Amino acid sequence: MNRIENHPVLKTNQNKNKVSFSFNGETFHGYENEPVSSALIANGVKEFSIHQVDDAPQGIFCANGQCSHCTLIIDGKPLKSCITGLKDGMEVRTMVHLPDLPSEDRKLNKFSIEYLKCEILVIGGGPSGLTSAVELAKLGFDIILIDDKENLGGKLLLQTHKFFGSIEDCYAGKRGIEIAALLEKEIRSYSNIRVYTNTSVAALYKDKKAGIFIDYKNYAIVDFDGLVISSGAREKNLVFPGNDIPGVYGAGAFQTLVNRDLIKSSDRIFIIGSGNVGLIAAYHALQTGITVVGIADILDNVTGYKVHADKIKRMGVPVYLRNTVLTAEGNGKVERITIAEVDDNFNPLLEKAKTFAVDTLLIAVGLSSIDEFYNTAIQFGYNAVKTGDADEIAEASSAMFGGKIAGLQLAKILGKDVTIDDSWFKKAEVLKSKPGKTISEPVTELNEKYTPIMHCYQEIPCNPCISVCPSGSIKLDEALGNIMDLPYYTGEECTRCGMCVAVCPGLAISVAKKLYGEWAEVVLPHEFIPNFHENEFVTLTDTEGNILEKGEVMKIQLNKKYKTYLITFKVTLQNAAKIAGIRIQDEDKTKPLPKPEFNYIPDNSILCRCERVSVGEIIKFIKENEIKDVNQLKQIRVGMGACGSRTCSILLPRIFSAAGVNWYEVTQATKRPLSIEIPMGAIINEESGEEQ
């Protein structure tokens, strides 16, 4: 079983109820109510279905219920396995081509539509949806909050790392999973908020009502006055040969498996994209014992926070800038991937290709807002606001303030006399700031007194270190006048309490002092279960991941509040101030194969994953038929799959451009009337009637 048995942050012994189920006639075991997809991956199954085109194997991609690649035949029905809870005795089979229709119709037993009424409907229980609901609840509104997952919190539930920002405003120093629990507790404390989890919005209708799919079983119509859209974002995909084989999926899907479901889904991963999502995914992988072979980005600089990048470099993860992915290849699953350097026009240089043996490729190249409901709401004249990633892609810390603001803005629209604190707007803007300037690493001279050393040299919105210092000896430099300013040590007495080291989200603070002669002591943060003991020697690195020396472990101490180990080392005085981290994985684990090994045919890349339509087919069709209407691509099945064109639509501008057509002259596709697949029987609640 590929379960995560030990984790430095997450509780792994959760006393879950173990059940048995069959997959293609073979008996497997899993945990009751966990996603069927997760149970299968825990049992080593990566191939979920066989596509009717080319008999291509399909594996999990989004783990978020938005695509169809995890569809299986479960107890005789084609269901998305990532949102279907496992039950004892389930019969699960690979879906081969298209599912069979029922052999005969059965008599209907129940004809009913459930009706719900509220003043405010909140779509999405992530950080912005939760904070907006709280503000509206304080004003006395009757609220229905729905979320498509079992627990509230959205992407916070996948974030085991500590948050940036400020302690006072957005729980900086706490982990996303902890913040989710705090916000859910607050939501549950309001009697005027009704919460529906495992529930999706099917559609918004012209009569200003919404159809919702409750517990993925029953259908209901909701009548409301105001609407908050906090539906989050979906991950962008890339076009390259092999982008659809099992083992290629979004970074969010990976984090869902390892952090929510505690599944060790991989042994060796490679990541495309150096934004915060990709960098954090690398860190989460390392914490579960998965080898991170490397990160590649087509740009010439890391796009995420420097402290995130530095952190994983220190741990032994190479970052390949000005590189793009060429191919993912293997026998029915990912076995190797190839990257190559790009020229100034971002064209790959095949002669500079590198091939790596991996079993998983994570795509972390950005997010696109799920704002379709908002656009529909405005079209139909709803009283509606959008917030969080549905409004603008930003950090969750900013989304919390955005949710508060959106909630009060909706209250104003509905006639409430409310005032929005101007500071909220300013804080939200600061919290979603892109990284600012980067300074050169300063030289720190050590003496016999403890000195905190800040290894963060880039302006980002973060200041928990100044909040936890009991002596107030860490300050911000006041260049910008907000939390984007860089921290510094004032030179006052340091007590070596270690709080600044433990709280830092970027693991970018150490404490050091001179011992005697040419020796010094340095205290480093460590968010792994230590695999070393006192008096052992451990490889230590500088900020950029360069190996400096092996330090002798003097003391291992766990800060329980921040779940961070503080490791004290005896090191040379020469390197003490430069030492910033502990090497986690050896260089041998990340080396490419001796020779590149790939088959690069770009036109073979799959654009429409659901229907398996390639880039070459689409470009040829556009050229031959002078296509200037996306709807015409439906003739070759583009956008006709179960995901509702959510994945391929983002990539179409690039494809039309390659075919010589100006995207701004192209008529956009007509949206599907329903956003999620619903069995016909469920719309009249026949499915629930059958169970009664």
pLDDT tens for each residue of 228-269: 999 999 888 899 999 999 999 989 899 999 999 999 999 999
Mean pLDDT of 406-418: 96
Mean pLDDT of 362-389: 93
pLDDT band at 690 (very low <50, low <70, confident <90, very high): very low
The 10s digit of each residue's pLDDT in 379-393 is 999 999 999 999 998
Mean pLDDT of 548-552: 97
Return mean pLDDT, the chain: 92
Q: Give the separation between CA 455 and CA 364, rounded to whole angstroms.
A: 26
Q: Strand 200-204's sheet: what is its strand order?
A: 114-117, 218-223, 209-214, 200-204
Q: Give the separation between CA 387 and CA 369, rounded to whole angstroms.
A: 10
Long-range (24+ apart) CB contacts under 8 A made by 531-534 are none
Query: Is the predicted pLDDT of residue 692 greater than 70, yes or no?
Result: no
With 0-12 / 13-18 / 19 or more C-beta atoms within 10 angstroms meaning exposed / middle / buried, residue 519 is middle
Predicted pLDDT of residue 684:
79
pLDDT band at 343 (very low <50, low <70, confident <90, very high): very high
> How many residues in total does the chain contain?
692
Nearest to 569 by CA among 553, 581, 580, 585: 553
Query: Is the predicted pLDDT of residue 688 greater than 70, yes or no?
Result: no
Biggest CA-to-CA distance, the chain: 89
> The dihedral of CA 467, 473, 476, 482: what is its sign?
positive
Lowest mean pLDDT among 70-84, 101-115, 562-576, 615-629: 101-115
Predicted pLDDT of residue 40:
96
pLDDT band at 691 (very low <50, low <70, confident <90, very high): very low
Q: Please name the helix (run of DSSP H) or strand (run of DSSP E) that holds residue 361, with its range, or none.
A: strand 360-363
The reply to whether domains 1-101 and 114-233+368-431 share a CATH topology is no
Residues contacting 387, CB < 8 A, separation 6+: 128, 129, 132, 228, 229, 230, 399, 402, 403, 405, 406, 407
Query: Is the predicted pLDDT of residue 520 greater than 60, yes or no?
Result: yes
Mean pLDDT of 344-365: 96
- Whether 671 contacts 203, CB under 8 Å: no
Q: Please name the helix (run of DSSP H) or strand (run of DSSP E) that holds residue 546, with its range, or none.
A: none
**DSSP-derived 3-state class of residue 91:** strand
Query: Is the predicted pLDDT of residue 112 greater than 90, yes or no?
Result: no
Mean pLDDT of 320-334: 96
Lowest mean pLDDT among 95-99, 340-344, 541-545, 578-582: 95-99
Query: Is the predicted pLDDT of residue 110 greater than 80, yes or no?
Result: no
Mean pLDDT of 359-373: 92
More confident residue, 245 or 678: 245
Query: Is the predicted pLDDT of residue 625 greater than 90, yes or no?
Result: yes
Predicted pLDDT of residue 168:
87
Place domain 237-365 in its CATH homologous superfamily. Answer: FAD/NAD(P)-binding domain (3.50.50.60)
Predicted pLDDT of residue 1:
64
Predicted pLDDT of residue 601:
87
| Per-domain boundaries in the chain | 1-101, 114-233+368-431, 237-365, 451-590, 601-692
Q: pTM of the predicted model, to two decimals?
A: 0.94
CATH 3.20.20.70 fits 114-233+368-431, yes or no: no
Q: Tokens standing for 11?
A: 């509780």
Predicted pLDDT of residue 63:
85
Nearest to 569 by CA among 654, 510, 482: 510
pLDDT band at 491 (very low <50, low <70, confident <90, very high): confident
Q: Determine the CATH number of domain 1-101.
A: 3.10.20.440
Q: Give the separation between CA 406 and CA 404, rounded to whole angstroms.
A: 6
Distance (Å) of CA 195 to CA 129, 146, 157, 401, 502: 12, 6, 17, 21, 35
> The dihedral of CA 393, 431, 316, 282: what is its sign?
negative
